[in-house]
Amino acid sequence: MTLLRATGLGARHGLLQAVRGVSFDVAEGEVLALIGANGAGKTTLLRTLAGAHPLSEGTVEYDGGSLAGVAAHERVRRGIALVPEGRRLFPELTVEENLLVAGHRARPGPWNLAAVLDAFPTLRPLRGRLASRLSGGQQQATAIARALMTNPRLLLIDEVSLGLSPKAVEDVYANLAVLRDSDATVVLVEQDLGRALATADRVICLLEGRIVLDTPTAGLTRDEVVTAYFGFTSAGHE
């Protein structure tokens, strides 16, 4: 069943057209990886889906209804949650307060403070610590846990491993495995191609705001990905 359908999406940053005519579907329970070079439009696309960046063209349908004119906080109530680039925790709130803020207006569902702390046991001893005093990996775990507190049907995660130590990346992907096991629908942006392809069911590659590859990860060759990612083959520019 299709949970989200984007049709002809466009988004701008001033004069710059960051996303151009992007169309794709996300099926319920699917893990979709968005890859692409810096400036390809991945973050803008994710923020557009979350309602944090305005659409310049196109439509987004979610659970059979249009998201036109639906504010970001209202999309959260409908089940769309974004883990933003750079984590964007509330620095002067404790870990527990960061989680509770998200849980206050949450949809009904399995995730609450106890469930989240069970799924992310590393956060339990950090409950009273200010978010500004967490390591990068702890911040990313808190950001994912905070998004889960809203009981999302569609979880959007931007730059999963950016700026994290290898150990922190391991921890964060262990957390993502928990989500995968719970049949969550996830769209993740990842610079680490190996991780992205190993985690996702399907991959979409963006180049200069356009989709240049949209395919299941099973059977995908590294050459196909590299060609789409850089826009040229080993034989030269396309």
Alpha carbon 187 to chain centroid distance? 5
Q: Which residue is it, tokens 């191609």?
A: 193
Q: Which is nearer to another protein, 78 or 210 (CB)?
A: 78
Q: Which is nearer to another protein, 82 or 228 (CB)?
A: 82
Q: Which is nearer to another protein, 85 or 201 (CB)?
A: 85
The least CB distance from residue 69 to another protein, in Å, is 15
* Cα–Cα distance measured from residue 94 to residue 110, given in angstroms and rounded to the nearest whole number: 23
Q: Which is nearer to another protein, 102 or 196 (CB)?
A: 102
80-83/154-157 β-pairing: parallel
Q: Which is nearer to another protein, 93 or 213 (CB)?
A: 93
The least CB distance from residue 62 to another protein, in Å, is 15
The least CB distance from residue 67 to another protein, in Å, is 14
Under a CB-based contact definition with an 8 Å cutoff, are residues 55 and 9 in contact? yes
Q: Output phi, psi for 179, to 5 deg.
A: -65, -45
Taking CB atoms within 8 Å and a gap of at least 24, the contacts of 50-56 are: 50/75, 50/80, 50/81, 50/82, 50/156, 51/75, 51/80, 52/82, 52/84, 53/11, 54/11, 55/9, 55/10, 55/11, 56/10, 56/11, 56/12, 56/17
Contact positions toward another protein, by CB under 8 A? 50-52, 71-74, 76-77, 81-82, 84, 88, 90-93, 97-98, 100-102, 104-106, 146-147, 149-150
The least CB distance from residue 76 to another protein, in Å, is 4
The least CB distance from residue 235 to another protein, in Å, is 43
